[in-house]
Chain A
Amino acid sequence: MKSQLQAWLPRIVLAPSFLLILLFVYGFIAYTGYLSLSDSRMLPSYGWVGFANYDRLFGLRHWKTALNNLWIFGLLYIGICTALGLFLAILLDQKIRGEGFIRPIYLYPMALSFIVTGTAWKWFLDPGIGLESIMHNWGWSSFDFDWIKNRNYAIYTVVIAAVWQSSGFVMAMFLAGLRGVDSEIIKAAQIDGAQSWRIYWRVIIPMMRPVFLSSFVVLAHLAIKAYDLVIALTGGGPGRATELPSTFMYSYTFTRNQMGVGASAAIIMLIMIFSIIVPYIYSELRSEKRS
């Protein structure tokens, strides 16, 4: 009897978390799926309309802009943060004097809420008062940096600010990974006469695979939820040029009283996210099991 209980105990202990997730995540996703097929406008309502909301969604120009922007933003953001984080971590791992001073500086942006750092960035990127005008004052009059005002480039300014916020965190993760590498391996490679960049490229970076997974999970999660950032920095403008699915969803669900369309946008977005993340997590977990 006692051993019976012992056998079930792990499952019982895990159960509350699992049930919470089941209800509050998967249950809510199912509920949203249902709303997306309903005629909900201001509050949920349960009249069945089939796929009309999806029809409507894909007829909207901004939705296409939002999807495009998510691709641009997501790829650049995750790519640059990972590359920059790894690069800075390798630099910081060279027995740097003052590491204890530099590290928190790289890390602190993650601690701030974008409700206001967005304002600081908005000023800085504004050609009238920010970088461009400073460069002009310093005599570099041909300097041109008006991306935030240009609807073809504004999304890249969102990337710049987002990278600022999270790349330090990724750096910390890689730094930890590098510190965890067995120094014997490096010594052995050095004895073989390999150059240090080669050691990094051939030996150490491949060992960082779990760090890539963790940072991918963290960054993908932040990219999908990027909302405050866009609102504070560009408000979705110029025009609607920096709309992301998260801002789109929010505006249709809550300010435009078209909850059905908002829900269908959410479902499409979830399908996209899961179709990228599920295979990735699956392959990582499998390779982990093998090793």
Chain B
Amino acid sequence: MKRAFGLMATSALVAMSFAANVQAQNVEVLHWWTSGGEAAALNVLKQDLESKGISWQDMPVAGGGGEAAMTVLRARVTAGNAPTAVQMLGFDIQDWANEGALGNLNDVAAAEGWDDVVPGALQNFSKNGGNWVAAPVNVHSTNWVWINKAALDAAGGKAPTTWDELVAVMDAMKANGITPLGHGGQAWQEATIFDAVVLSMGNDFYQASMIDLDPDALGGDTMVEVFDRMAKLRSYVDDNFSGRDWNLASAMVINGEAGMQMMGDWAKGEFLKAGQVAEEDFVCIRFPGTQGSVTFNSDQFAMFDVGMDNDSQKQMASSVMNPTFQSAFNVVKGSVPARTDVPNDDFGYCGKKGMADLAEANANGSLFGSMAHGHAAPASVKNAVYDVVTAHFNGEMSSEEAAEELAAAVADAM
């Protein structure tokens, strides 16, 4: 690999000598934030950098929650033409760092004291071998449930806090003639619910099964119970769920066609955009049984090794970590800041709740990377989990078979 990179470096030099607009003070940023709100939020960062005289070269590639961008990145790195900064999730950062492709941000991290303000669970991804290689932008938490207030009131009015209460509410919604669970049948959406159900079996179980990948936990009785609950949830979904985009499922909840949706905090944007008000039109709660715990995924900007002169890169990392940017960006994005010392004044009801939950989970050691979103295990394991969860959800196997298959598939993917 070393020799390959040597070769790439040479070719990169050749490439650079041909490129007309390469100056010291610019950053090329590969990302997949192309929807209106996201891109507008990122524009804040761009303007901040431009005010420091650093020009922003935009390289957006959307698709598949970053999958398309990661493919492009591989082509770019192989060609010796890596972007300066790349939006990345979880294990991808570690994988690239292990390939020796990332730069080093230790100076700026030390100067600004990142170690003290970034939650430890995030640092596991932002640092490699003790060195900062990425600047975290946000924390999305994934174990949320979004409930239509009117539908909840009609079903008893009390937000569920346990599995049994959840089932009771859903039964009541079903009796009221609506679809209790608005859901989109795509592997990642099913895995998002799966994460929450696993977490509701206890923090230790989540740690053992999803993070330590303990075969006994993956194939054991508790996991069978998890799959039974998934099957139960499946029974509250309408027949037409498969392939539906998550935001259409949100729309079902907004229209009152469905009672609730289990989805990460980005769903909040759909509700707000439809003119809904938290606590009046919709309710945001943690998945019943996971109060006090948070599963997260975090977008970070990984900085690629661009040689000695990485001043603009450090400037960018510094701007990303700036509390003002963290607040401005995350208010728009629906996520919460990646540092715990950002004031919550600009956030809405659910945002404030999310920030408080994050701080609490961080303090109690109950902040876990989300399996569904690539922060619990590497991509190969994640996709193996997807395969089993989605196959079971679509009725291809029983819960016992699913647990067995899960243990086997994970072992096979490692």
Contacts and interface: CB of A to CB of B under 8 A. Distances in A.
- Direct contact, A vs B (beta carbon within 8 Å): yes
Interface of A: 41-45, 56, 59, 61-62, 122, 126-128, 146, 148-149, 151, 234-235, 237-241, 250-251, 254-258
B72 to A, nearest CB: 9
Given A238-B394, A254-B71, A256-B383, 11 more contacts: A44-B4, A146-B239, A146-B240, A151-B394, A237-B185, A237-B243, A238-B243, A241-B394, A254-B70, A255-B64, A257-B380
Given A126-B240, A149-B240, A235-B186, A255 B391 contact: no
Interface in B350-405: 378-380, 383, 387, 390-391, 393-394, 396
Interface string B62-91: 001001001100100110000000000000
Contact of A240 (B70, B95, B96, B387): B387
B187 interface: yes
A250 B391 CA distance: 20
B412 A59 contact: yes
Choose among A241, A251, A257, A258 the residue with the greatest number of B CB atoms under 10 Å from its CB: A257
B19 interface: no
Contacts of B64: 255
A238 B185 contact: yes
Contacts of B394: 151, 237-239, 241
A256 B71 CA distance: 11
A34 B111 CA distance: 47
Contacts of A45: 1
B391 A240 contact: yes
B82 to A, nearest CB: 12
16 contacts: A42-B74, A42-B96, A42-B99, A44-B4, A62-B387, A126-B243, A149-B185, A149-B241, A149-B242, A237-B390, A239-B390, A239-B396, A240-B387, A250-B71, A255-B71, A255-B383
A256 B396 CA distance: 22
Nearest to A255: B67
Interface string B198-212: 000000000000000
Nearest to A234: B243
Contacts of B396: 151, 239
Interface residues of B, number: 33
Contacts of B187: 235, 237, 239
Choose among A56, A62, A122, A255 the residue with the greatest number of B CB atoms under 10 Å from its CB: A255
A61 B413 CA distance: 13
Interface of B: 1, 4, 64, 67, 70-71, 74, 77-78, 95-96, 99, 185-187, 238-243, 378-380, 383, 387, 390-391, 393-394, 396, 412-413
B242 A257 contact: no
Choose among A45, A128, A151, A256 the residue with the greatest number of B CB atoms under 10 Å from its CB: A256
Looking at chain B's contact residues, the main secondary structure is: helix
A41 B243 CA distance: 29
Given A239-B394, A240-B391, A148 B242 contact: yes
A45 B3 CA distance: 11
A219 to B, nearest CB: 26
A87 to B, nearest CB: 31
Given A42-B99, A127-B240, A254 B74 contact: yes
A254 B63 CA distance: 13
Nearest to B99: A43
Contacts of B380: 41, 256-258
Contact of B243 (A42, A43, A235): A235
Nearest to B101: A43
Contact of A43 (B74, B238, B241): B74
Contacts of B240: 126-128, 146, 149
A274 B387 CA distance: 30
A186 to B, nearest CB: 49
A234 B99 CA distance: 34
A53 B396 CA distance: 26
Given A237-B185, A238-B394, A251 B383 contact: yes
Nearest to B65: A255
B70 A239 contact: no
A234 B243 CA distance: 6
A62 B383 CA distance: 12
Nearest to B78: A43
A258 B381 CA distance: 11
Nearest to A259: B74
Nearest to B396: A239
A5 B201 CA distance: 81
Contacts of A42: 74, 95-96, 99
A57 to B, nearest CB: 12
Nearest to A240: B387
B1 A257 contact: no
Contacts of B412: 56, 59
